[in-house]
Structure 1
C-alpha cells in the first residue's frame, strides 16, 4: 500500500496571470510554474499525481522528468474540485493525501514536512495558515469596486490565510467529496468540505514563500525570488595566437577590415586577428583549433576571409552549448596602425562573434621579424559560457 499520495493541482486556466497559456505552464525564471512546484517535492516520500488540463498530459510528463520527479499525470476537470477528484482517483490505495496547488510553486519542503508530521501525530485534516497582516474591511453593496461602500474594519486577529499543501486522511477526504456532491464545485478549499462533515481541521504554521501566483505582480515577485537560485553558468577562457608574413597576392585584411599595403601570405586571407580569435574561442570550449575546424589547406577555403572562420567557430560552440562572452585581441607589428580604425574593427569583429571584442596594437621596438615589418602576429583571449 502506498502510504501517501501528493496531488499537485495544475489545471487552472491562468486568465488573471495573462500569459496566454494555462497558469502551470507559464514560464518563470527559465522553467514552468509546474516544474518549480515539482522541484520542491523532490525527495518527498509520496506518490506524486499531477493534475493538468486535458491535452497537456505529454507536456506535463516531460516537465516532471526535467524536475526529477516520478509523477503520474492525469487530466483535470472544469473546476478545482473536479481536478482534485481526478487526483484522488489516481491516488490508488494511499492512506494519506496531500493536496497542493502548483500555483504555490515556491512552497518549501519544510512546509510539506510540517503537514506530514501533523498527520503522523493523528490529525485527520491539516492546513498550513498564516496570520492576516493587512487591515481588512467589509464592504456594502455593489460588486463594482468603484461603487463599493466601505463597512466596518474586521478584527484580523481572528483571521488566517489558508495555504497548501493541505493534508488529509484519504478516506476522510473521499467521504467529504462524496457528501458534498454537486455542491463541491463552489468550494475553493478542501478543508472546507471536511469541516462540513463536522470534522476537526488542525492548523500548522504556513510559510511566506508559499504565496499563490495568480497575477502578473505575483509572477514578478516569484521571478525575483527565483533569480538568485539560477544555475551559475560555466565559464572558460582560451588563448589563440596566429602569425603571418607579408607577401600575399591579395589585399591586406586584418581584424575583418581591408587596409592599404601588401597582403599577408597564407592559404586564406591571412587575417591574423580573425584566426587568433577562432583558436581562442575553440580552445576555451575544448573544441580544438582552426586546423581541426576547416583544415589548413582545404581548397574551398583558399583565399577565404577570416570572417568565414570566426562564424564557423561560433556555430561550433553553439552546437556544444557554448556562447562567447567577450574577446580581447592584441596585434603585434609595424603596420597597419590598428589604433586608427580601432572602433571600426571592434564593431565588425563584435558582429562576427556576437559579443564584445576589444582590439589593441603594439610594436616590438624593432626586435625580430615583426619589428622589421616582415609580418604580423595576433594574440587573442576569449571568455565563453555554458549553462
Structure 2
C-alpha cells in the first residue's frame, strides 16, 4: 500500500501578514512540522511553495505552487513518481496534525472509501447571515469543521484535478463530481494557523526549578567556578568542576522539558565527566531541550554562600550563561546569615528557575 502526501504551502498569508508557512514553531517552521508528520506515513512527500521562494525542505520534493490552492495541488500531483494507491493532501497551516490522524485517514481509504476527510464537531451555534440579519440557524448536530490531511484514491484525485474545478479544498470538488466523501474523527491538535494569534496559541510555556550544592574542597589549588567564572576562594568538591550554578540551571531546564535531572545525563560515577567543564554540560542540555522543540526564555538564579563576596562577578556569570542558553539570565547572591552548614562556610548552593517556550504537546 503506497501512500504519498502533497503539502500545500504556497499561500501568501495575507491575514497573517506574510508567508506563515515559514514562521518558526519551536525549532522548526510550520511547513517542516507538516512534512515531518507526513513522512511518517508516506513513501514520498511533495511540497508546493510560493513561486518566489527557493528553499529546501528536508525530506520532501519541492515544486512551484500556483495562484490558487487547486493549482498548487495540481502541480504537486504532477511531481509524483509513479501512481501511489493513496494520495493525501495536507495544509502546512495545520503543522501539529498528529501522525495518528494521517493513519486514520489512510485506514478508512484502505477500507474502501474513495475520499476521506477528518472533521471535528462544531461547538458553537452557527447562523447564516445576510445583510447583517440572521436568515436561519443551522442544526449544529449535523455540522463538522473539516481539517486536513484529506485522503483520495490516486485515480479519484486525478479526476478532481483534471476537472478544472476550483474549491476551498479538494474534497469539495470531489463532492461536485459525485464522489461520496467519508468522515473520520479529526484532532484538536490539527488547528489551522490563519493569524499570528493562532500561532501563539500553539506555543506553550514550561517552568523548571533547579537546586545544586557542593561542599568545600580540601584539594589545594582547586578553583572555585560559578557560572563559568572563576572567583577567589577554595573550590568545591565534585566529580566535575563543581559549578553549582551551571548545574542548577541545567537541572531547571531539564526538569521543565520533562527530561529529568543533570545526574541522569552526566553521572558522577562516569569517568568521562571527571573534571568536566559545566558550561559544556549546560550546552549539551540546551541541545537536548531544543531537540524537543523548546527554547529557553529566561533564567533566574540565586547563589547562596557565606564567602566569598560575589557581587563583582554576578554580571559576568549572567553574561556567560546567556551565551550558552541564548536567553536573558539574572544571577543574584544571598548570604545564609550564619545558618547551618552554608552559614558556616562549608559549601555553596545555587537555585535556578528556567522558563521554556515551545510547541504544545500534540493531543489526540
TM-score by length of 2: 0.66
Distance 1:57 1:270, change over 3 A: closer
What residue number does 1:71 align with? 60
**1:241-299 Cα distance to aligned partner (Å, 9 max, x none):** 589x9xxxxxxxxx9xxxxxxxxxxxxx98328x77x852698488876xx99xxxxxx
Q: 2:177 aligns with which of 183, 189, 197?
A: 197
Separation in 2, partners of 1:201, 1:363? 75
Superposition pairs for residues 87-98 of structure 1, below 5 Å? 87-93=76-82, 94-98=84-88
**1:80-136 Cα distance to aligned partner (Å, 9 max, x none):** 112111221122221210001121222222221111111111111111222333212
SS at the partner of 2:243?
A: helix
Unaligned runs of 5+ in 1: 62-69, 142-147, 246-254, 256-268, 294-312, 339-344, 365-375
What residue number does 2:243 align with? 280
Q: 1:112 aligns with which of 90, 95, 102?
A: 102
Instruction: Confirm or deny that 1:28 pairs with 2:25.
Output: yes
Q: 1:84 aligns with which of 61, 64, 73?
A: 73
**1:303-332 Cα distance to aligned partner (Å, 9 max, x none):** xxxxxxxxxx96x77876769863524245
**1:209-258 Cα distance to aligned partner (Å, 9 max, x none):** 2221112332232224xx56xxx989795748589x9xxxxxxxxx9xxx
**1:23-71 Cα distance to aligned partner (Å, 9 max, x none):** 111123443222332343453243222222235453533xxxxxxxx32
What residue number does 2:48 align with? 51
**1:120-174 Cα distance to aligned partner (Å, 9 max, x none):** 1111111122233321222223xxxxxx233222233333221111110112211
What residue number does 1:166 align with? 150
Superposition pairs for residues 335-346 of structure 1, below 5 Å? 345-346=310-311
* Equivalences, count: 296
Q: Which of 168-177 and 207-216 deviates more?
A: 207-216
**Maintained 8 Å contact 1:329/1:378:** no
SS at the partner of 1:88?
A: helix
Post-superposition offset of 1:381: 4.2
Larger Rg: 1
Q: 1:356 aligns with which of 299, 319, 331?
A: 331
**Maintained 8 Å contact 1:115/1:167:** yes
SS at the partner of 1:208?
A: coil
Distance 1:194 1:362, change over 3 A: closer
Distance 1:321 1:200, change over 3 A: closer
**Maintained 8 Å contact 1:100/1:166:** yes
Unaligned runs of 5+ in 2: 251-265, 267-272, 287-295, 319-329, 357-364
**Maintained 8 Å contact 2:6/2:90:** yes
**Maintained 8 Å contact 2:39/2:45:** no
Separation in 2, partners of 1:39, 1:99? 14
Post-superposition offset of 1:189: 0.9
Q: 2:114 aligns with which of 124, 127, 130?
A: 124
Instruction: Confirm or deny that 1:149 pairs with 2:124.
Output: no
The structure where helix makes up a greater share of residues is 1
Separation in 1, partners of 2:246, 2:331? 18
What residue number does 2:92 align with? 102
Separation in 2, partners of 1:234, 1:39? 32
Over the aligned positions, Cα root-mean-square deviation in angstroms equals 4.2
What residue number does 1:252 align with? none
Distance 1:283 1:172, change over 3 A: closer
What residue number does 1:12 align with? 11
**1:344-365 Cα distance to aligned partner (Å, 9 max, x none):** x54x43312113232427789x
**Maintained 8 Å contact 2:105/2:116:** yes
**Maintained 8 Å contact 2:34/2:94:** yes
Distance 1:272 1:207, change over 3 A: same
TM-score by length of 1: 0.62
Instruction: Confirm or deny that 1:330 pairs with 2:293.
Output: no
SS at the partner of 1:352?
A: helix
